[in-house]
Amino acid sequence: MSTDTVDRPGEIHARPVRHPGRWVALVIIAILVAMLISSFITNPKWDWGFAFQIMQQKPVINGLWKGTILGTIGAMILGIVLGVILAVMRLSENPVLRGVSFAYTWFFRAMPRYVLLAFMGGAIALLYREFDIGVPFGQQIAGALGLSTDLTFWSFSWNDISSTIWVGILGLGLSEAAYMAEIARAGILSVDKGQGEAAQALGMSPGQAMRRIILPQAMRVIVPPTGNETIAMVKDTSLFIAASIITELYFQAYGFGQRSFKIVPGFMAAVMWYLIVCSILMVGQSYLERYFGRGFGAQAPTKRERKVKDLLSRTGDH
Amino acid sequence: MADMPLVHAVNVTKSFGDNQVLKGIDMDVHKGEVVCFLGPSGSGKTTFLRCINQLETINGGRIWVDGELMGYADKGGVLHRLHDKEIARQRREIGMVFQRFNLFPHKTVLDNIIEAPVQVKGEKKAEVTVRAKELLERVGLADKPLAYPGQLSGGQQQRVAIARALAMRPKLMLFDEPTSALDPELVGEVLTVMRELAKEGMTMIVVTHEMAFARDVADRVVFMDGGVVVEQGDPKQVINNPQHERTQTFLRRMQSEHEQAVAAVADPLGLTQDS
Ligand SMILES: Nc1ncnc2c1ncn2[C@@H]1O[C@H](COP(=O)(O)OP(=O)(O)O)[C@@H](O)[C@H]1O
Ligand SMILES: [Mg+2]
């Protein structure tokens, strides 16, 4: 071999592959978008100015916060907590718990949310006016023993909460739990069996191992579909009207348009709020994914890790 | 009970379905003793270790660790299965190191080590952190407390796993082929840590294929095959002069595998004589 490098191939300056298809697609899309925008501007029925006004109306904002957003948060919290419990039950060794979890999931996955909300809004008040929290069969027992109390500690009337956001949260949350249970179960099963064994070998109880070791790792699998569920939930709050819950974005925005005989801006006001809320959620989801993916790829230390480093340097000089 | 061995196993049997994996194991391990388990794959070594700390439930026999019957309460001759929480308490005293490390990937090295002392024993975080730092120094990883397991080599991960087990101040350490998942050049660093531990007087049961380690470090070598203890005794005696035919066959095969491995490394370098 010679040490002469003159004839040896040097750096590559190649021509890139051409993509004429991309340019054609760009032109077609550009034309379609231009047509759409022009229609937005020239067709007065869109009436964007009025749509923006509707977006800022007090009842609409109220519906957004106290209906759509509160309803989403409440239903998702209920759905996630109950869903994880159902998933753990489904994976437990106790056949009763497994059966209950299975039956729950079966029932609520088969129930359309609209029907469920309509049932809760309409039928429950007919069936049970009062809910008593107390000793089971307390009234019968008290009657048999001749007691003056009926062993009830707390009671409320369904009418007090019907048509409120609480019925909406309860209905959507119960339904969501069935889906979250499946998602959480897949997440738990995705964690290596050795993790639970290592935790138990260190003396953790099965519950501790689940909470401290398995669930945090399952979150990596659970978070992305939960983000999708949350975004879907934002939209499902528009079903609240089935339970006569009127403090809600779509009902308020559409109603405002209807009363002004301008239905289209009413729609568009709701659409734009949904787009804004869902966009914010998508950004939040990507942050969550990064947080629960820690340890599964190189990244900068989190705030907590910097705190630990602090602690370490302080405990160093004892 | 005072002179009972630290581990006292009597006639331990274990089946998976129809497959009887342990067929009556008797085994005593005394405080400070290092016992190495050898034997072909599938002979039940891992299963026996897992029975000692109750990761598997035995079908017959008894296991005592430090005088305490594992997994059961003996009430007038009738055994009552212990509650999960009680079994968890019994496990605190027994450290286990797995073939595949099983570090918690979502926690830093430091958090891996302090997790159990804080969560299980309720120790103060600051105190455990000091101890964790000392342990990391001992296993040669003082500079890695904030690394995640995924950022470490296999050898480093296994050393963290040893530190994590030691943080619970166990009376007994179980090692299940701790170097089998490692690249050959990383085996030494883990064995060095284990040698140190043995020298400090830790009671250790080690399943391994590292003959040199067994010969130099173990007080006793146990050869298992087909769910029974075939032969046991002084390491040099068992390894250099095995009495039982099955032991001889196994050791011969290990020997030839070892030579092949050495040859495979040596040949490309042109180190073999006959070329
Ligand atoms: N969880 C299990 N379920 C069914 N069979 C198992 C299980 N664990 C181990 N075995 C079987 O028990 C036998 C002994 O396995 P093991 O204790 O891992 O052997 P060794 O560690 O000596 O290689 C093997 O035949 C294996 O297939
Ligand atoms: Mg094994």
The CB-side HSE value for A150 (13 A sphere, CA atoms) comes to 8
pLDDT, residue B100, reads 95
Is 80 exceeded by the pLDDT of residue A19?
yes
Distance CA A267, CA A42 (A): 18
Interchain pair A308, B85: CB under 8 A: no
pLDDT, residue A310, reads 62
| For residues A40-47, average pLDDT | 86
| pLDDT, tens only, B17-66 | 999 999 999 999 999 999 999 999 999 999 999 999 999 999 999 999 99
The sign of the dihedral angle between the CA atoms of B230, B234, B235, B241 is negative
DSSP state of B172: E
| CA B67 – ligand 1 centroid, Å | 27
Interchain pair B120, A203: CB under 8 A: yes
| CA B97 – ligand 2 centroid, Å | 12
pLDDT, residue A302, reads 59
Instruction: Name the residue with higher pLDDT: B246 or A163.
Output: B246
| For residues A223-244, average pLDDT | 93
Distance CA B19, CA A280 (A): 56
pLDDT, residue A291, reads 83
- List the domains of chain A with CATH numbers: 70-245 (1.10.3720.10)
pLDDT, residue A290, reads 84
Is 80 exceeded by the pLDDT of residue B270?
no
Instruction: Name the residue with higher pLDDT: A149 or B212.
Output: B212
> Which residue in chain B has the smallest CA separation from A293?
B106
Q: What residue ranges in B89-196 does DSSP mark as E strands?
A: 94-97, 172-176
**Whole-structure pTM value:** 0.81
The residue type at A33:
V
- Give percent of chain A with pLDDT exceeding 70: 91
Band of the pLDDT at A10, cuts 50, 70, 90?
A: confident
Distance CA A228, CA A72 (A): 12
Is 70 exceeded by the pLDDT of residue B249?
yes
Distance CA B5, CA B85 (A): 25
Query: Relative to the CA of B227, which ligand 1 atom is closest?
Result: 14
> Is the Cβ–Cβ distance between A130 and A157 less than 8 Å?
yes
For residue B116, list chain A residues with Cβ-Cβ distance below 8 A. Answer: 199, 202-204
| CA B174 – ligand 2 centroid, Å | 12
Return mean pLDDT, chain B. 93
Q: Give yes or no for A92 touching B (CB within 8 A).
A: no
Band of the pLDDT at B116, cuts 50, 70, 90?
A: very high
The residue type at B121:
K
Torsion, Cα of B134, B166, A197, B74 (10° steps)? -150
The CB density around residue A84, as the number of other CB atoms within 10 Å, is 22
The beta-carbon neighbor of A315 closest among B85, B107, B133 is: B133
B208 lines ligand 1 (CB under 6 A): no
| CA B227 – ligand 1 centroid, Å | 10
* Distance from the Cα of residue A306 to its chain's centroid: 30
Is 70 exceeded by the pLDDT of residue A318?
no
| pLDDT, tens only, B70-101 | 999 999 889 999 999 999 999 999 999 999 99
B41 lines ligand 1 (CB under 6 A): yes
| For residues A177-206, average pLDDT | 96
Residues contacting A67, CB < 8 A, separation 6+: A165, A168, A237, A240, A245, A247, A248, A249, A251, A252
Instruction: Name the residue with higher pLDDT: B264 or A93.
Output: A93
- Give percent of chain B with pLDDT exceeding 70: 95
Interchain pair A198, B98: CB under 8 A: yes
Distance CA A245, CA A77 (A): 20
Cα-based distances in Å from B151 to A196, A262, A280, A297, B166: 21, 60, 33, 8, 22
B47 lines ligand 1 (CB under 6 A): yes
Complex ipTM: 0.91
First to last CA, chain B: 64
For residue B148, list chain A residues with Cβ-Cβ distance below 8 A. Answer: 294-295
The beta-carbon neighbor of A205 closest among B88, B121, B129 is: B88
Identify which ligand lies nearest to the alpha carbon of B37.
1
Distance CA A56, CA B183 (A): 65
**Residue B118, token pair as written in the block:** 């804080």
Q: Regarding beta strands B60-65 and B78-81, do their DSSP bridges make them parallel or antiparallel, or are they unpaired? A: unpaired
Is 60 exceeded by the pLDDT of residue B103?
yes
DSSP assignment of A22-52 equals: HHHHHHHHHHHHHHHHHHHHH-TTT-HHHHH
Question: If DSSP codes are grouped into helix, strand and coil, which group holds residue B269?
Answer: helix
In the block, residue with structure tokens 């910097």: A306
The CB-side HSE value for A72 (13 A sphere, CA atoms) comes to 24
| pLDDT, tens only, A100-122 | 999 999 999 999 999 999 998 88
| pLDDT, tens only, B135-171 | 999 999 999 999 999 999 999 999 999 999 999 999 9
Of B13, B21, B228, which is best to mutate to test ligand 1, by the most ligand atoms within 8 angstroms of its C-beta? B21
Residues found in chain B: 275
Distance CA B202, CA B144 (A): 25
Distance CA B20, CA B161 (A): 31
Is 80 exceeded by the pLDDT of residue A198?
yes
Cα-based distances in Å from B146 to A187, A213, B150, B152: 26, 18, 12, 11
Closest approach of chain B CAs to the CA of A305, in angstroms? 7
> Which residue in chain B has the smallest CA separation from A316?
B130
Closest approach of chain A CAs to the CA of B258, in angstroms? 29
Q: In what order do the strands lie in the sheet with B34-38?
A: B94-97, B172-176, B203-207, B34-38, B220-225, B228-233
**Residue A203, token pair as written in the block:** 């003396």
